[in-house]
Amino acid sequence: MSQQFPSQELVVLWMLLLLLPGMGQSVAAQQGDFCGTAERDAAYFHQHPEEEADYRAVQRQYQDFMATRPDTAGTRNVKTIPCVVHVIQSSIVNELSDADIQTQIEVLNEDFRKIAGTPGDGAGVDTEYQFCLASIDPQGCATTGINRIVNPGLASHDFADQALLKGLIQWDPNMYLNLWVPTEIVTQAQLGLIVGYATFPDQLPSQPELDGVVVGAQYFVRSPVSAGRTATHEVGHWLGLYHPFQGGCSGVNASDCSFLGDEVCDTPQSSDPNTVCSGSPNTCIESPVDLPNQVDNYMDYAIGSCVTGQFTQGQKDRMDFFYTTYRSNLSSAANLSATGCDGTLASTCPPTSNFSADARTTCVGQPVTFSDLSNGPPSSWNWTFPGGIPATSTDQNPVVTWAQTGTYSVGLEVTNAKGTDSRTETAFITVQETQLPPLSENFDNVPDYPDGWYPENLADTLNWRKSNEAAYSDAFSMQLELFGNPNQGAFYSLNTAAFDLSGVATANLSWRYAYKRFSAFNNIDTLQVRASVDCGANWNLLWQRAGTQLASVGGNGINARFVPADSSQWSYVEIPVDTYAGRTQVRFQFRAISGGGQNLWLDDVNLSALVNAAEVSEQLWGLEVYPNPFREVPTVAYSLAQGSELSFSLVDLQGRTLFQYDVGRQAPGEYVLAADPDIYATLPPGIYFLRAESEFGNATKKLIKMAP
């Protein structure tokens, strides 16, 4: 979005744009080209107001460039841009083939070079930009220009967290155009369907680690679903172009068209995005010549349905200015040689072993997919997985399980004609024991994290940590320091242990949290609760609050970090999780998304579950409680069909253990539990669960205490 407005206005204008008729998910689905670049640009200048002056200086240079640019008609200055495509996949099954990716490079060349006889041969000009998949990587080794990384969590890419996706892999942006292709792009904001976004050239000096283009996989290919024009549109942004509807009907006069609107004088302004490539709508009045909207322009939204498209001479001039100012090294002779785009052949390199896994913490029997990230490239692989199944593998990307809990190392030896290299990572995989409900966790009697819990944050060193500054109950809670956090959009996840809910009929998850809004303008700090049925490999959203809805305390906390003062500043949430009954590896996750706002606090996480004794093992167990409901002390009778160690516990609806009684080992027979009658006598009226644990199965009975 144009930076001619203050940053707060940018956000408001973009959100208003999204509310216009014809916008939103339905149009995105039809046209396949709903662009998130303007929203990203607005957020960038909101986060970096100090760069407003630098941008204005660049704008003045652009005006001078346009005013003094000589007529270049008839001259040729073709610029080749080396590309690398990073495909972020949810599994080892390729969602896009190499051939699919090659069709996308073909579309870029057809559109930017206006190649005769192709859909790119529209009414516009040859921009003289062309694109090449690099054949030499940054280490000087051979490459296809395509990197494939299996990462289910990032394959579904959240638009709010660009740094996490791009931090996974990026090649030097001064040598390559980085194109990231996740399986999908999702957003928690009300932005409709986003199919792609890009960075602008003037942001390269300050944020090189984010430079490049992101396009969802189903749109990064020439297919019936997509003409491949999403990438054309986003690369146009990457080269400095705005939407023709930029700023609505501003910049429609010869005197202001180069610094208002899309800042290009030969693209007629449009008040709204054009979503249909037909007719001749005219939504703005230009002067001195009024022209209809240019619906077939690659930078509008209708282009996915157009037979041909176009870039104008003015857009080419603007691209040339920003390319010369920020990106000219890409097409230099030295860089084309270094990336192989001039035909230079890479030397065969000795391999360098490297690998990743789609999970570092897992459960017994849960598959873990390993990805070879070695350079070279290797021609053979020799993996070692001590304790794993299999224990060794020669596959490039093997899938491994573990049958026992513990911490395990992983090794990879890679070989090619030039040599061999090996890498071993100790304590690389942790296989955790699955726990049984109930859970009652107030973080007081644990070291850093409860047994089986772990933080999951790949964005920076900030994380959920145990704190004694505030708590709802007792002395400790978990705290996330978002106050003053510069990484807006970053995820901070706290994962629970995995629970075996196979014998559970019903279950509830509850927790308490505290949060105060940073300011009236901050509405994007978010807390989510998610669940996984595969030990944390994939997650489903259960609950979410943000901004005002998330606040447990009124007012704003713009001047000082928020620390809850007393129990009144905490909110309580309880949700049913019955849909996960019967599952054997259920994890829950508390995930915060930073909006650069205020601190989050978490306490009293409880998982209560009801299990019918008959469902566990009717032939081995017999558990009865009578009278039930009761007023004073009930009788707990049980029978055992075989000998076993036994223990009993009484929990409340919040999952808190009120008493535990270890019986020891008992022979087969019939028994009455000799529990302290004072325990029941002092219970307030309500619902409770008596849980019995044995070597051959567990049983739970629901108890109801009535008022005297």
Q: Are 273 and 293 in contact (CB under 8 A)?
A: no
Residue-by-residue DSSP string for 211-259:
-SEEE-GGGSS-SSS--SHHHHHHHHHHTT---TTTTSS-S-BTTTTTT
Half-sphere exposure of 621 (CA within 13 A, CB side): 23
pLDDT single digits (tens) 363-402:
888 899 998 988 878 999 999 999 999 999 999 999 999 9
Spell out the residues 6+ positions from residue 601 whose beta carbon is closer than 8 angstroms to its own. 467, 470, 477, 478, 479, 480, 513, 514, 515, 564, 570
Low-confidence ranges of the chain (pLDDT < 70): 1-34, 36-53, 70-75, 92-93, 188-192, 224-225, 457-461, 486-489, 521-523, 611-620, 653-656, 675
Residue length, the chain?
Answer: 708
Q: Tell me 204's DSSP state.
A: T
Between the alpha carbon of residue 418 and those of residues 378, 527, 590, the distances in Å are 9, 51, 47
Q: Is the dihedral of CA 312, 314, 317, 322 positive or negative?
A: negative
**Pick from 274, 240, 245: nearest CA to 260:** 245
The two tokens of residue 230 are 């999403």
The SS3 assignment for 174 reads coil
Q: How far apart are CA 495 and CA 476, in angstroms?
A: 18
**11 contacts 44 by C-beta, under 8 angstroms:** no
Both tokens assigned to 339:
């990336």
- In angstroms, the CA 248 to CA 269 distance is 7
8 A C-beta contact, residue 620 and residue 635: no
Q: Of 95, 110, 128, 234, which is the active-site residue?
A: 234
Residue 602 near residue 467 (C-beta atoms within 8 A): no
pLDDT of res. 706: 82
3-state secondary structure of 61: helix
Residue located via tokens 């570092």: 360
Question: Looking at the whole model, is its pTM more than 0.85?
Answer: no
Q: Residue 564 has which token pair?
A: 């809850």
Rounded to 5 degrees, φ, ψ at 655 are 85, 10
Give pLDDT, residue 225: 61
Distance CA(176)–CA(327), nearest Å, equals: 10
What does the alpha-carbon distance between residue 91 and residue 88 come to, in Å, rounded to a whole number?
Answer: 9
Which residues, in sequence order, are CB contacts of 21 under 8 Å at separation 6+?
Answer: none
> Which DSSP letter does residue 580 get?
G
The set of residues, in sequence order, having a beta carbon less than 8 Å from that of 528 and lying 6+ positions away, is 541, 543, 544, 589, 590, 591, 592, 593
Q: How many whole angstroms from its chain centre is CA 456?
A: 12
Q: What pLDDT, on the 0 to 100 scale, is given for residue 525? A: 84
Please give the Cα distance from 541 to 527 (Å, whole number). Answer: 11
Among this protein's residues, is 234 annotated catalytic?
A: yes
Look-up of token digits 């990438």 = 231
Number of H helices, E strands in the chain: 13, 36
User: CA-CA distance, 175 to 502, in Å (whole number)?
Assistant: 53
Determine the pLDDT at residue 278: 82
Distance between CA atoms of residues 435 and 423, nearest Å: 33
Residue of 318, 192, 175, 300 lying closest to 258 (CA atoms): 318
CB half-sphere exposure, 393, CA atoms < 13 A: 21
What was the pLDDT predicted at 373?
85
User: Do the Cβ atoms of 218 and 229 come closer than 8 Å?
Assistant: no
d(CA 230, CA 257) in angstroms, rounded, equals 26
How is the beta sheet containing 355-357 ordered, strand by strand? 355-357, 368-372, 399-402, 388-389
Question: What DSSP string describes 404-459?
Answer: S-EEEEEEEEEEETTEEEEEEEEEEEEEEPPB-S-EEE-SSSSSSS-TT-EEE--S
Helix (H) or strand (E) holding 81: strand 79-89
Distance in Å from the first CA to the final CA of the chain: 69
Q: Which tens digits make up the pLDDT trace of 603-630?
A: 999 998 875 444 444 556 778 888 888 8
Buried b or exposed e, range 303-342, using 16+ CB within 10 angstroms: bbbbebbbbbbbbbbbbbbbbebbbeebbeeebbebbbbe
Count of beta carbons in the 10 Å neighbourhood of residue 452? 19
Q: What is the signed CA dihedral for 684, 685, 687, 688, rounded to 10 degrees?
A: 40
